[in-house]
């Protein structure tokens, strides 16, 4: 099965973030270390806050599950608030080291990044070809949506603080893994419904072949984005692009 692009009929573009509109290194070498370095201070400053309490409650549930599964996570302690914070930090590092897609962890990271974006320490680098292509697609009447494993909150922060400025108004919809895994075709069916477009009217662009395969199974059109620094993808079934310069011609 080869994914063919039909020049006509595309009414929406669904974009991945990491490796497609921003370098993978921004997430792994900037965002993740930023949150890791600040999580202890953040918890100490916000430990009694309702929102942080709810993140920690979710982490406690996940911890109990890890214990039941015999994964031997570092213990959670509650002898004092200092001991509790230190033990949560150890568990959070343990989750980060496993690249766990944990809702409690993601929520906490989002709050820490929010501070960094707000005080100007963090700025999201967009590939220079992204904004012009999005603008042209919108002029052509296309809907623009995002599907990323980062939370919708983190996605909005990123596009609000990009090196091209706040471009949140150019994006119609955001989807994260609460819609479903990026490698499950059902997720793309749900996105198609939510975008109010037939799957075949949506062009999904990502750097990961297994995600494109799932979108293709759901009936979407696909493009493999090959950016510098992306891991090599061996599958040849999806048409490839190295940047968005030709996108306005394709659509």
Q: Which stretch binds Mg ion (CB under 5 A): 17-25, 166-174, 185-193, 216-224?
A: 17-25
Residues 6+ apart with CB under 8 A from 17: 146, 148, 150, 155, 158
Nearer to Mg ion, 201 or 207 (CB): 207
- The least CB distance from residue 244 to Mg ion, in Å, is 14
Print burial letters for 152-191: b (CB count within 10 Å at least 16), e (below 16).
bbbbbbbbbbbebeebeeebebbbbbebbebebbebbbeb
- The least CB distance from residue 19 to Mg ion, in Å, is 4
3-state helix, strand, coil in the chain (%, to 5): 50, 10, 40
Nearer to Mg ion, 73 or 150 (CB): 150
- The least CB distance from residue 16 to Mg ion, in Å, is 4
Site for Mg ion, residues 176 to 235, rule: CB under 5 A = 207
Q: CA-CA-CA-CA torsion for 146, 147, 151, 156, nearest 10 degrees?
A: 0
* Residue 19 binds Mg ion, judged by CB under 5 A: yes
Binding footprint of Mg ion, residue count (CB under 5 A): 4
* 197 CA to centre of own chain: 22
Nearer to Mg ion, 21 or 105 (CB): 21
Nearer to Mg ion, 91 or 204 (CB): 204
Query: Which residues contact Mg ion by CB under 5 A?
Result: 16, 18-19, 207
């Amino acid at each position: 099965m080869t994914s063919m692009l039909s020049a006509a009929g595309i009414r929406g573009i669904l974009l991945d973030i990491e490796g497609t509109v921003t370098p993978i290194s921004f997430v792994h070498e900037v965002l993740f270390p930023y949150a890791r370095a600040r999580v202890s201070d953040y918890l100490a400053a916000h430990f009694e806050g309702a929102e942080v309490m709810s993140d920690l409650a979710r982490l406690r549930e996940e911890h109990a599950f890890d214990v039941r599964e015999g994964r031997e996570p570092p213990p959670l302690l509650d002898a004092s608030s200092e001991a509790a914070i230190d033990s949560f930090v150890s568990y959070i590092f343990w989750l980060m080291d496993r690249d766990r897609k944990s809702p409690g962890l993601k929520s906490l990271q989002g709050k820490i990044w929010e501070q960094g974006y707000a005080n100007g320490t963090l700025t999201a680098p967009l590939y220079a070809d992204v904004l012009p292509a999005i603008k042209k697609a919108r002029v052509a009447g296309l809907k623009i949506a995002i599907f990323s494993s980062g939370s919708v909150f983190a996605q909005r922060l990123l596009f609000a603080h990009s090196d091209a400025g706040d471009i949140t108004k150019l994006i119609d919809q955001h989807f994260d893994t609460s819609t479903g895994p990026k490698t499950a075709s059902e997720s793309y069916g749900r996105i198609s419904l939510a975008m109010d477009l037939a799957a075949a009217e949506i062009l999904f662009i990502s750097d990961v072949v297994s995600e494109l395969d799932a979108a293709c199974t759901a009936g979407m059109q696909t493009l493999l984005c090959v950016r510098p620094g992306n891991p090599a993808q061996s599958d040849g079934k999806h048409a490839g692009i190295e940047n968005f310069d030709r996108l306005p011609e394709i659509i």
